[in-house]
Structure 1
Amino acid sequence: MTYTANDQRYAAMQYRRTGRSGLKLPALSLGLWHNFGEVDTLANCRDIIYTAFDHGITHIDLANNYGPPPGAAEETFGRIFASGLQPYRDELIISTKAGWPMWPGPYGDLGSKKYLVASLDQSLKRMGLDYVDIFYHHRPDPDTPLYETMSALDGIVRQGKALYVGISSYGPAEAAEAFKILRSLGTPCLIHQPKYSMLDRWIEDGLLDVLEQDGVGCITFSSLAQGLLTNKYLNGIPADSRAARPLGNGAIEADAITDANIEKVRRLNTLAEQRGQSLAQMSLAWVLKDPRITSVVIGASKASQVLDSIKCLNNPNFAAQELEAIEAILKG
């Protein structure tokens, strides 16, 4: 069946400028970290992506190692792109990354020019694309000179293989140095992708200030704490949850589901109900309340979860008393 996108797809989605660039991203972006591997059903993957795009989620976030196995998510996306999304390429922001182990030997990991260039070439082939809109270095490399990694990103843009570049999971000092190098090369850093949620707030200790000062966007991942900030774990660990999976495929660690954390989640859930939201919707809205946040990456195992997440935009504002109540719960 031929895919035709919803002609009202831009009506309700919010778009935010990425730092001081010319690019706007949807408030919610679709991440393919989970549920797009070889074990997943192509029809369901297609339904999730089409539903997201039909509701204004124009940004699809990938990485070379997403699957399982590594590369599988890009291959899945490539099949869906070729069969239905290709006519809409100029309406899509497609990103991928390199920085985690991808193939054996010394050239398949971290941040060398050799690895980054080869990895992106492989990613483009898997996805059937001529270029990606954003290419990230996925994590800091303590051994490769930062100048080499950043100059590789600059070269990739100059070769036309990416329009913009970003970094992920860099701390404040190393991010600031990366931004300085990229500016000197003539390819400013577009965006930083850190882990951030109500339960993991490390970026508030300097990184957000660095991003604001340098005019770099911020797109967060794991903003639902890999499912902990939903109603999934209110009554224990379900058999089909990430906590029940083997560690290594983004599974939430079972020791994160402590009695203290569950009590916090239950109290947050009560507050969300008072706001007329699910806990997941309130958690996404809480991240988006900061104007320095450009977008939040959401994951989904079915299309209905995409629609549920989008509803966070129906009540994006927090009263001072609500924010105080959230802080009290989190500190408790």
Structure 2
Amino acid sequence: MQLRRLGSSGLRTSALGLGTMTWGRDTDALEAADSLRAFVEAGGTLLDTAASYGDGAAEEVIGGLLRDVVARDEVVLCTKAGARRGPDGVRVDAGRGALLDTLDASLRRLGTDHVDLWLVQAPDSGTTMAETVSALDVAVRTGRTRYAGLANHPGWSTAHAATLAAAAGVPLAAAQVEYSLLERGIERELVPAAHELGLGVMAWSPLGRGVLTGKYRRSVPADSRAASPHLRGFVEPYLTDDARSVVEALVTAADGLGRAPLEVALAWVRDAPGVGCAVVGARTTAQLRGSLAADDLELPEQIRAVLDEITAPELGYPERR
């Protein structure tokens, strides 16, 4: 698998990353171990998690696997902080104390003294960006993380944070955002901002929350995320007529290439301008192997152009005049 540099940083990751949102909940430790072995054997390095995944359960599973299955130095370990579960549900908190406390708890669960990449998981309107960036600065300078970045932030706040971080001498390395043929909003401002600021784009949910696999063309499978009580709301936004049109076009393209729809969808994201890594959240090893099969696929320019055209985001003022 190809290794890529994230933006202008010195951090190199595999072009495909392994997401762990379901680990410790829908994916047990044995299945996670099989997936991690398959991923590393295929040349994958980036293992992506968050303190909020299963309220820490995903990190606990990873901690066990890094002791018993794969050596710590075989993976590029990325985790996120800034979303905390309380009595009233998940609350965004990107204050310095909350972020650093969460990072320390993550390191304990992961069984390591540092992560390779640490991201602020979501924007916090109640905390100044200067304070949030100060936490990233502390984490890097104390060795708890090698690199820092943001997740799910719009272009303007990403630019703000990157400017503050650069002034502090700790440039941001990455911006992790949702990106797929069903969600191309980052092309308006985030991708150009990341390019100018030297941030690598990490695309999460490149398969459109599973919809671009084609599994929902006729119905909702009983074992799918859309049938899961806690993940149904995650998938439903893409179970629309517009999304179905995209899926049908994708299936047609895949049939013409003799490949699976998910391989085409993944290759499109992986090789899109500015993308350093596409993170797939496979629930099972079989699903992961389907994504790994896309490693050798380079989309013909004609196919890419057609998919670009039918899924292009609307641009207007001020992005385009």
Provide the TM-score with structure 2 as the length reference. 0.92
- 5 Å matches for 1:112-261? 112-247=95-230, 249=231, 251-254=233-236, 256-261=238-243
Q: Displacement of 1:299 after TM fit?
A: 1.4
Tell me, yes or no, if structure 1 residue 273 matches structure 2 residue 255.
yes
Q: Displacement of 1:110 after TM fit?
A: 1.6
2:283 is matched with: 301
Partner Cα distance (1:27, 1:253) in 2: 24
Tell me, yes or no, if structure 1 residue 58 matches structure 2 residue 39.
no
Q: Displacement of 1:330 after TM fit?
A: 3.2
| 8 Å Cα contact 1:25-1:295 kept in structure 2 | yes
Partner Cα distance (1:78, 1:250) in 2: 28
Higher strand share: 2
For 2:165, the aligned partner's letter is: L
| 8 Å Cα contact 1:78-1:128 kept in structure 2 | yes
The Cα offsets for residues 194-252 of structure 1, whole Å up to 9 and x where unpaired, read as 011111101100111111111111111011111110021111111111111224x4743
| Aligned pair partner of 1:49 in 36, 57, 62 | 36
Q: Secondary structure at the match of 1:102?
A: strand
Partner Cα distance (1:102, 1:162) in 2: 23
For 2:155, the aligned partner's letter is: P
Q: Secondary structure at the match of 2:246?
A: helix
Tell me, yes or no, if structure 1 residue 311 matches structure 2 residue 293.
yes
For 2:103, the aligned partner's letter is: L
Tell me, yes or no, if structure 1 residue 28 matches structure 2 residue 38.
no
Partner Cα distance (2:189, 2:103) in 1: 30
Q: Secondary structure at the match of 2:178?
A: coil
Partner Cα distance (1:55, 1:97) in 2: 25
2:316 is matched with: none
For 2:305, the aligned partner's letter is: E
Q: Displacement of 1:24 after TM fit?
A: 1.3
Q: Secondary structure at the match of 2:47?
A: strand
Q: Displacement of 1:60 after TM fit?
A: 0.5
Partner Cα distance (2:10, 2:237) in 1: 42
Q: Displacement of 1:161 after TM fit?
A: 0.6
Partner Cα distance (2:307, 2:45) in 1: 31
| 8 Å Cα contact 1:78-1:126 kept in structure 2 | yes
Partner Cα distance (1:200, 1:77) in 2: 29
| Aligned pair partner of 2:69 in 71, 81, 84 | 84
| Aligned pair partner of 2:85 in 102, 108, 131 | 102
| 8 Å Cα contact 2:47-2:78 kept in structure 1 | yes
Q: Secondary structure at the match of 2:85?
A: coil
Partner Cα distance (1:284, 1:39) in 2: 23
Q: Secondary structure at the match of 2:43?
A: coil
| 8 Å Cα contact 1:108-1:115 kept in structure 2 | no
Identical counterparts, % of pairs: 34
For 1:160, the aligned partner's letter is: G
- Decide whether aligned partners of structure 1 residues 32 and 255 sit closer, same or farther in structure 2, where only a CA change above 3 A counts: closer
- Decide whether aligned partners of structure 1 residues 266 and 107 sit closer, same or farther in structure 2, where only a CA change above 3 A counts: closer
Partner Cα distance (1:40, 1:223) in 2: 20
**Count of aligned pairs:** 313
Q: CA RMSD in A?
A: 2.1
Partner Cα distance (1:196, 1:217) in 2: 13
1:5 is matched with: none
| 8 Å Cα contact 1:221-1:298 kept in structure 2 | yes
| 8 Å Cα contact 1:99-1:109 kept in structure 2 | yes
- Decide whether aligned partners of structure 1 residues 106 and 296 sit closer, same or farther in structure 2, where only a CA change above 3 A counts: closer
Tell me, yes or no, if structure 1 residue 323 matches structure 2 residue 304.
yes
